């Protein structure tokens, strides 16, 4: 069933939010009858494991992962399904561009092709940053990435808590250590590194949301985690250049 589409939604207790997502899925299925819908309960409190179980149950070649608190127009899903058939993996980039900051990814909507062989890591620490790990894995295998603009996905859920914010920053650093060649390629040009550093500082000071801007502790954590991470990136770039790999 390579031509069909599997829409996999990890479900939680918040059924009010799920209604919006189900409405989006029904609208898409009405236009594309060859669509399989999998509402996968999150028994493990792990987005990675829940999505992996949804993949195990699915039968289609195109996999659409949706959070249970979003609304997406059917034509938006169809566009990224079309890209998946061409070998792309699409994910929501917080700023609409992967090149601006590789860590500002949101897994609210992720569309990929089963044939690419890239799946979620069920052993990821703290069950956080699974979306970043997924994209790093794609990049390391040469998979083409398409960015879904944030305005294309209407989010109804609450923003992440402080604990999640800290764990995401910690896991992102671990992933950078795990995929040094991706980091090297990302910060390869001096101009790109400077622009990225300025962006990281701006991101940390201004925050992503009004709620974040009102929380000095979040701002402080964001500043230190991203600047420390950036210093690590520079070290990795230097080491890789010295040993002569990853060019």
> Do 38 and 9 touch, CB atoms closer than 8 A?
yes
Residue 186, Cβ density class (10 Å: 0-12 exposed, 13-18 middle, ≥19 buried): buried
**Tens digit of pLDDT at every position of the chain (247 positions):** 668 999 999 987 655 667 888 899 999 999 999 999 999 999 888 889 999 999 999 999 999 999 988 999 999 999 999 999 999 999 998 767 776 556 667 789 999 999 999 989 888 776 777 888 898 888 888 899 898 998 999 988 776 566 666 666 667 667 766 776 676 666 666 665 666 566 555 555 554 444 444 455 555 555 565 566 556 556 655 555 554 443 3
Question: What are the counts of helices (DSSP H) followed by strands (DSSP E) for the chain?
Answer: 9, 8
Q: Quick one: pLDDT at residue 178?
A: 77
pTM attached to this predicted model: 0.79
Q: What is the pLDDT of residue 84?
A: 96
Distance in angstroms (rounded) separating the CA atoms of residues 210 and 170: 23
In CATH terms, 5-155 corresponds, of 3.40.50.720, 3.90.550.10, 1.10.3720.10, 3.40.50.920, to 3.90.550.10
Q: What is the pLDDT of residue 232?
A: 57
């Amino acid at each position: 069933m390579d031509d069909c589409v599997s829409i996999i939604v990890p479900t939680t207790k918040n059924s009010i939010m799920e209604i919006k997502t189900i409405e989006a899925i029904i609208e898409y299925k009405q236009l594309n009858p060859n669509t399989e819908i999998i509402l996968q309960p999150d028994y493990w409190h792990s987005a990675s494991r829940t999505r992996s179980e949804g993949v195990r149950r699915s039968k289609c070649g195109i996999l659409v992962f949706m959070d249970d608190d979003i609304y997406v127009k059917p034509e938006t899903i169809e566009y990224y399904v079309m890209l998946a058939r061409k070998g792309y993996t699409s994910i929501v980039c917080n700023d609409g561009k992967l090149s601006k900051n590789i860590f500002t990814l949101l897994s609210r909507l992720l569309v990929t092709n089963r044939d690419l062989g890239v799946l979620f890591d069920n052993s990821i620490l703290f069950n956080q940053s699974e979306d970043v790990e997924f994209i790093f894995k794609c990049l390391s295998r040469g998979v083409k990435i398409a960015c879904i603009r944030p305005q294309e996905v209407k989010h109804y859920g609450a923003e992440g808590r402080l604990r999640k914010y800290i764990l995401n920053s910690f896991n992102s650093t671990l992933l950078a250590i795990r995929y040094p060649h991706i980091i090297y390629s990302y910060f390869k040009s001096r101009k790109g590194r400077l622009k990225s550093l300025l962006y990281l500082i701006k991101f940390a000071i201004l925050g992503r949301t009004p709620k974040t801007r009102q929380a000095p502790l979040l701002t402080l954590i964001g500043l230190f985690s991203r600047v420390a991470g950036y210093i690590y990136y520079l070290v990795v770039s230097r080491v890789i250049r010295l040993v002569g790999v990853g060019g």
